[in-house]
Amino acid sequence: MFSPKHFSCGIVCATLLLSASTLLTGCSNNQITQPAVSVTGNWQIASTAASAKALPSISGELTGTSAALTGILHSDSAASCIPPATAFDVAGGTNSVGVTTISGSGVAGGTLTISGTLAANGRSFSSATYNVVGGTCAFATAATATTAQDYTAISGNYTGNFSDANGVVIAVAAMLTQSSTSDANGNFTLSGTGTFPSNPCFNSPVTVSNTQVTGGSFTFTYADPTTTNSVVSNGTFSTDGTMLTVTNWTLTGPCGPDSGTGLLTKQ
Element (H, E) at 189: none
User: Would you say residue 9 lies in a domain?
Assistant: no
> What's residue 183's pLDDT?
97
Per residue in 66-115, pLDDT (tens digit) is 999 999 999 999 999 999 999 999 999 999 888 999 999 989 999 999 99
Domain-embedded: residue 6 = no
Please give the Cα distance from 183 to 243 (Å, whole number).
24
User: Looking at residue 24, what is its pLDDT?
Assistant: 44
Residues 196 and 159 grouped into a single domain: yes
Let me know whether 185 and 90 are in one domain. no
Of 118, 151, 184, which residue constitutes the final position of a domain?
151
Q: Give pLDDT, residue 83.
A: 95
Low-confidence ranges of the chain (pLDDT < 50): 1-32
Assigned domain for 232 exists: yes
- Residue 119 sits in the same domain as residue 74: yes
Residue by residue, DSSP assigns 204-233 as SSEEEEEEEEETTEEEEEEE-TTT--EEEE
Q: State pLDDT tens for residues 32-53.
A: 456 899 999 999 999 999 999 9
Dmax (CA) for the chain in angstroms is 110
Which of 109, 124, 151 marks a domain boundary?
151
How far apart CA 112 and CA 125 sit, in angstroms, is 16
- What pLDDT score was predicted for residue 28? 45
- The residue count for the chain: 267
- Rounded-to-integer distance, Cα 164 and Cα 123, Å: 36
Peptide bond into 200 cis (omega under 30): no
Rounded to whole angstroms, the Cα distance separating 199 from 201 reads 6
* Domain that residue 256 falls in: 155-266
Q: How many distinct structural domains can be found in the chain?
A: 2
